[in-house]
Amino acid sequence: MEVDEDAELMLRVAAGDKSAFAALFDRYQASICRFAYRFVGDQARAEELAQEIFVKLYRSAKSYRPSAKLKTFLFRVASNHCLNEVRRGEYRMPHVEPHTEEQEGADGQAQHASGPDQALEGKELERAVGEALSKMSERERAAFTMCRFEGMAYRDIAFALSASEAAVKSLIHRATLAVARRIEELQAGLCPARSQA
């Protein structure tokens, strides 16, 4: 079972076993990079953050208790790290350039040709999500990412963010709605006919 395997690896890391750490890294690097990317919106910076997060995980191996799932523990390290970096002004969400109506119109022409019922895809979707994320609070962004991209349970997200489950519930609700509305706005821009209907 994966959870026990993780805990066992982490115990070996605490005893100084680097190959155990490498195994954990391989298992979670995609998740942590994705989390950091959603958090800062820039891939190079996300990798720097991911690097620091894993080094912190290694150093905190001794304080890990198998009573918490390793993934939850790791995301607690990751959340603390990202929130601290933002608080120190190290990282800013860069891509808050809500694109103008003209651009939307121009993009829309091209997209529209492939079908009026088409949902946002690929780059357009990425842009909508990135814009929405950049406008919400850091805690909303972190909770949203853990929930929507990592499939973590509210209880685990609450542990990662040192928050109550009730607080997490509303962070995720607000964030999900914000993303939904941004996608809708851009979609309406792409398919003007449909938005009038």
* Residues forming the site for another protein (CB under 8 A): 18, 21-22, 25-26, 29-30, 33-34, 37, 43, 47, 50-51, 54-56, 58-60, 77, 80-81, 84, 87-88, 90, 119-123, 125-126, 129, 147-149, 153-154, 169-170, 172-173, 176-177, 179-180, 183-184
For residue 102, the minimal CB distance to another protein (Å) is 25
**Are the beta carbons of 143 and 168 closer than 8 angstroms?**
yes
Nearest residue to 182 via CA among 151, 144, 139, 143: 144
For residue 123, the minimal CB distance to another protein (Å) is 8
Q: Which is nearer to another protein, 139 or 148 (CB)?
A: 148
Task: Report angle CA 11, 16, 20 to the nearest 5 degrees.
Answer: 60
Half-sphere exposure in the Cβ direction for 131 (13 Å, CA): 17
Ordered DSSP codes for 114-136: T-TTPPP-HHHHHHHHHHHHHHS
Q: Which is nearer to another protein, 6 or 76 (CB)?
A: 76
For residue 162, the minimal CB distance to another protein (Å) is 10
Q: Which is nearer to another protein, 102 or 117 (CB)?
A: 117
Q: Which is nearer to another protein, 4 or 166 (CB)?
A: 166
H or E element, residue 29: helix 18-40
Report how far apart, in Å, the C-alpha atoms of 119 and of each of 105, 159, 197 are.
16, 35, 16
For residue 47, the minimal CB distance to another protein (Å) is 6
For residue 146, the minimal CB distance to another protein (Å) is 12
Q: Which is nearer to another protein, 93 or 120 (CB)?
A: 120
Phi and psi torsions of 103, nearest 5°? -60, -45
